[in-house]
């Protein structure tokens, strides 16, 4: 199993005219092609995916829309050789983020986890108010 750092995703998702970066692009792209064919298995963490999402959409970096970044990441994560602890939750987070681009990806990931049965979300953030299937934890039994 290969653990993927953010730069492997970024090199496979973006292009550069710099020779040393082009070489990294080729290497990363080939790894993902091998994962697509099921020749290798690779994994990563939610934190790495959040970093990639941030860099892809940051004005100082690639300035992609949330929808475009989510689409690119989702396609990569759906490859047969890409294994995640909870792929369904991460893919749902990318869908939420694409649908609600004002949310940061980390909040979309939080929402996706909070939408799981039996989970209550403790937050003061109002960004979650219009998202379906999120049960809020009620602090009624806490006294000031």
Residue 77 to residue 49: CA distance in whole angstroms? 10
Name which of 78, 90, 76, 84 is nearest 13 in CA terms: 76
Residue 144 to residue 6: CA distance in whole angstroms? 43
Query: With the C-alpha atoms ordered 52, 71, 120, 142, is the resulting torsion angle positive or negative?
Result: positive
**pLDDT tens for each residue of 107-144:** 999 999 999 999 999 998 888 888 888 988 887 766 65
Tokens matching residue 113: 């986890």
Q: HSE of 91 in the Cβ direction (CA atoms, 13 Å)? A: 13
**pLDDT tens for each residue of 21-30:** 899 999 999 9
Q: What is this structure's pTM?
A: 0.88
């Amino acid at each position: 199993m290969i653990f993927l750092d953010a730069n492997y995703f970024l090199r496979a998702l973006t292009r550069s005219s710099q020779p040393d970066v082009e070489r990294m692009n080729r290497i990363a792209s080939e790894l993902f092609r091998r994962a697509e064919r099921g020749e290798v298995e690779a994994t990563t963490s939610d934190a790495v995916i959040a970093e990639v999402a941030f860099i892809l959409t940051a004005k100082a970096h690639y300035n992609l829309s949330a929808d475009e970044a989510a689409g690119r990441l989702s396609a990569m994560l759906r490859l047969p050789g890409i294994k995640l602890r909870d792929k369904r939750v991460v893919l749902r987070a990318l869908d939420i983020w694409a649908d609600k681009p004002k949310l940061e990806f980390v909040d979309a990931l939080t929402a996706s986890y909070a939408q799981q049965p039996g989970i209550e979300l403790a937050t003061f953030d109002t960004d979650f108010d219009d998202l379906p299937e999120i049960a809020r934890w009620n602090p009624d039994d806490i006294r000031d």
